[in-house]
A = this chain, B = another copy of it.
């Protein structure tokens, strides 16, 4: 790497942070079952501790997204939770209401045709927004499992109207510091129609809800063959990109570690962001978050791996020579334009990482350091014992 590239890489590293999800440290699985891990987090303290461990070795995960239903109990003092996070070296990030697990959501949450259920869902969102304000979080992150399984089951337009009204109501509760992220997903758990199926629907609802509402792009929530980076470029151009849920996939919403299946696609997403920033002279504010569910990989290792891959691809994308790229584009020199991207993608950025980690007193090899630390072994022992004490049976079986 030339000194110029090294500098650019280090600037990129300085500016990049990615949020880990509290639920990524607990046991999760597929509808066919879960494979349990002794070291899986039991409670919020475990999750925050695990998030702290990830941040300790990577140095770029200062915040943790929380799931209100799973992480907060009635009567919990949010400020106490914020303090607990700080004790583990992290801060509370995006607040995620849960609008799908309660039996009352069988036919939807914001899209339900029973006003009482919509009200119930709304109240939970208000509570989540209030928690966010109490802990100083900037984001409320909304994902809806709403939809229908069969043609005719629901009125698509009626449900759209319910969503519009509920999102507007949420928006009114936001503080000036808070942004509401609205996620889209084309299928699952609803199979015939999902109420917010694509970025266009998310965009429309955000526009109707109010100016502090932005689109959340989950990289696994697209159709096969869809060009995600184009969506990112359009949302940036419209000032409507709020953030990301990062993961990777082959077929559906597989929640694999970022870049494990298609690293070049993730690189291209980051490239569109850097390219936009170069054109505008400022880096847009984007919430980079992870949303993954690991049934096989050790959860902390998987999270570290995803974080490192995100950092690496973000840095590589920062190395694209925009001047050369624009020049090739201006001449419609497709071969050279493409090669500019490939060159950056295949640049060996190890020297930049080494220097940056040293300067920031971080382990040279985060994954190795985590393994050597004995953290997981200890967590496994302690949590296994605690499960026994609490009478928690890891399992539950077939969904």
Chain A positions near chain B (C-beta within 8 angstroms) = 28-36, 70, 100-101, 103, 106-107, 113, 145, 148-157, 160-161, 186-189, 191-193, 197-201, 203-204, 223-227, 229-230, 233-234, 236-238, 249-252, 254, 256-257, 260-265, 268, 271-272, 275-276, 279, 295-298, 301-302, 305, 325-326, 328-330, 332, 334-335, 337-342, 345-348, 367, 396-399
**Minimum Cβ distance to chain B for residue A305 (Å):** 6
A107 to B, closest residue via Cβ? B332
Q: B150 near A204 (CB under 8 angstroms)? A: no
Q: A250 near B32 (CB under 8 angstroms)? A: no
Q: Would you mind naming 11 contact pairs between A and B with Cβ atoms under 8 Å apart?
A: A29-B31, A32-B188, A32-B189, A36-B103, A113-B332, A150-B338, A156-B229, A187-B254, A191-B256, A192-B261, A346-B348
With A157-B236, A252-B251 known to touch, is A260 a contact of B30 (CB < 8 Å)? no
A395 to B, closest residue via Cβ? B103
Q: A191 near B249 (CB under 8 angstroms)? A: yes
With A226-B223, A298-B335 known to touch, is A151 a contact of B260 (CB < 8 Å)? yes
A156 to B, closest residue via Cβ? B233
Q: B262 near A334 (CB under 8 angstroms)? A: no
Q: A186 near B226 (CB under 8 angstroms)? A: yes
Residues of chain B within 8 A (CB-CB) of A33 are 100-101, 189, 399
Residues of chain B within 8 A (CB-CB) of A302 are 335
Residues of chain B within 8 A (CB-CB) of A70 are 398
Q: How many copies does the complex hold?
A: 4
Interface centre among A160, A325, A398 (most CB of B within 10 A): A398
With A264-B262, A334-B149 known to touch, is A101 a contact of B236 (CB < 8 Å)? no
Q: A154 near B329 (CB under 8 angstroms)? A: yes
Q: Which of B189, B325, B335 has a CB less than 8 Å from the CB of A30?
A: B189
- Give 9 new A-B contacts, CB below 8 A, not counting A28-B399, A30-B399, A225-B251: A28-B398, A29-B189, A31-B31, A35-B103, A152-B329, A186-B226, A187-B250, A224-B225, A305-B339
Q: A233 near B157 (CB under 8 angstroms)? A: yes
A249 to B28, CA, bound (A): 25
Q: B260 near A150 (CB under 8 angstroms)? A: yes
Interface centre among A28, A32, A268 (most CB of B within 10 A): A32
With A260-B151, A296-B106 known to touch, is A234 a contact of B156 (CB < 8 Å)? yes
Q: Which of B32, B250, B279, B326 has a CB less than 8 Å from the CB of A100?
A: B32
A250 to B298, CA, bound (A): 32
Residues of chain B within 8 A (CB-CB) of A204 are 200, 203, 234, 238
With A100-B33, A152-B325, A348-B346 known to touch, is A227 a contact of B192 (CB < 8 Å)? yes
A262 to B, closest residue via Cβ? B262
A302 to B335, CA, bound (A): 7
